Structure 1
Amino acid sequence: MRFTFRCLDAQADAPLLHSWVTRPYASFWGMLSASVADVAEEYAKIQSSGHHHALLGLDGGVPAFLMEEYLPESSPLAGRYAVQPGDVGMHLLVAPPSGNPESGYTTAVMDAVLGRLFDRPEVERVVVEPDARNTRIHALNERLGFQAAGLVTLPDKEALLSFCTRTDYLAARAALDTLSTPVPQGASL
């Protein structure tokens, strides 16, 4: 497997995350003006919440992306859609490329994240709610099997609520070789 995962350490990893979330490409992450301390505080809250968890994705041992998983019923999505048993929410932020962007990289990252989530038998559906203006991530989501369900108003954004079932993911994954429009490295969810 190309990618591995490790639990995020809010304090130790804050400088790295800060270098990602404060770049223009990560504007939809909502932390462009955050300090390192702000990032550490936010991720300490996430890691101690009991319903939201952050992981770093590693590529050859090097941090390459941030993945968050959460329980939709304990999130701002609560009451905005009918949560089903087996739903898990997900956020994704891919690190800026360290060299020339690799075609298909973000698709490979998303595939690894969804594969990790769907490896858990209790996960039936992955839920995402990216900013409605983030067309790059909508294209990536669709490529990996997400179906848009409509716009929802959340405290920090107008979001495109989308769902990916295990069946839709596996069908999309099987078709990955036939898809031709890669999403550049650096897309965020």
Structure 2
Amino acid sequence: MTATATAFAFRALDPLRDAELLHRWVTHPKAAYWMMQDAQPEDVERAYREIAADEHHHALLGLGEDGRSVFLMEYYDPVHRELAGLYEPEPGDVGMHFLTPATDTPVHGFTKAVITAVVARLFEDPATRRIVVEPDVRNTAVHTLNEAVGFVPVREIQKPEKRALLSFCTRERFERAVAAV
């Protein structure tokens, strides 16, 4: 069985209702790059309450065909969050993070389907011209996924919490990458 990007729906994350699920996801060793390994459930709830209250940062859960939450997506305004002052933003830039939780029963192509769905969701907004990501430079698995959907690495940047690979994806690059599959 394989996963497809069209198999997902999205809903706003509810920090109180979803905190337990998110805690399991972000504290798992697979999620080391989320830097929440030692977080307690109340820390995760607090972090996502802050995001829910932030006009420049948003969190959604990706839902599988059965309606269950199967991944986390965050998007933000890089002028005001995450990358403020670290690069030259352009009008229509949107920052993005995604997390697929660890599983004992991996589905071939699932993570690529997730990133494809996340990028497609962001490009549904006609104001989005370019998606910006800044994963840890050591996270080679996500660099490969990013490139598969059209992201182009630009340079390394130093963030307070990590050395990151700044990468961009335009709508045109994404459409070409998806069409090439």
TM-score, with normalisation over the residues of structure 1? 0.91
Letter aligned with residue 85 of structure 2: G
Q: State how far apart, in whole Å, the 1-side matches of 2:11 and 2:120 are.
A: 15
- Residue in structure 2 matching 1:59, options 57, 64, 74: 64
Deviates more, 1:123-132 or 1:99-108: 99-108
Letter aligned with residue 40 of structure 1: E
What does 1:75-90 align with in structure 2 at a 5 Å threshold?
75-90=81-96
- Show the counterpart of 2:76: 70
Question: How many residue pairs are counted as aligned between the two chains?
Answer: 175
Letter aligned with residue 87 of structure 2: Y
Letter aligned with residue 76 of structure 2: Y
What does 1:164-175 align with in structure 2 at a 5 Å threshold?
164-175=169-180
Corresponding position: 1:118 with 2:137: no
Listed as ranges, the gaps of 5+ residues in structure 2 are 1-5
Q: State how far apart, in whole Å, the 2-side matches of 1:46 and 1:154 are.
A: 19
Which ranges of 4 or more aligned residues in structure 1 deviate by more than 3 Å?
none
Q: State how far apart, in whole Å, the 2-side matches of 1:33 and 1:45 are.
A: 18
TM-score, with normalisation over the residues of structure 2? 0.95
Per-residue Cα deviation, 1:39-80 (whole angstroms, up to 9, x for no partner): 000000111011000000001201000000000001131111
Q: State how far apart, in whole Å, the 2-side matches of 1:156 and 1:109 are.
A: 25
Letter aligned with residue 96 of structure 1: A
Contact persistence 2:31–2:101 (CA under 8 A): no
Q: State how far apart, in whole Å, the 2-side matches of 1:102 and 1:66 are.
A: 17
- Show the counterpart of 2:145: 140
Contact persistence 1:55–1:66 (CA under 8 A): yes
- Residue in structure 2 matching 1:149, options 151, 154, 172: 154
For the residue of structure 1 that corresponds to 2:79, the secondary structure is helix
Contact persistence 1:76–1:155 (CA under 8 A): no
**What percent identity do the matched residue pairs reach?**
50
Relative contact order higher in (CA < 8 Å, ≥ 6 apart)? 1
Aligned-pair RMSD on alpha carbons?
0.8
- Cα drift, residue 11 of structure 1: 1.1
Contact persistence 1:86–1:122 (CA under 8 A): yes
- Cα drift, residue 117 of structure 1: 0.6
Q: State how far apart, in whole Å, the 2-side matches of 1:112 and 1:102 are.
A: 16
Per-residue Cα deviation, 1:82-103 (whole angstroms, up to 9, x for no partner): 1000000000001222x42111
- Show the counterpart of 2:168: 163
Q: State how far apart, in whole Å, the 2-side matches of 1:130 and 1:70 are.
A: 14
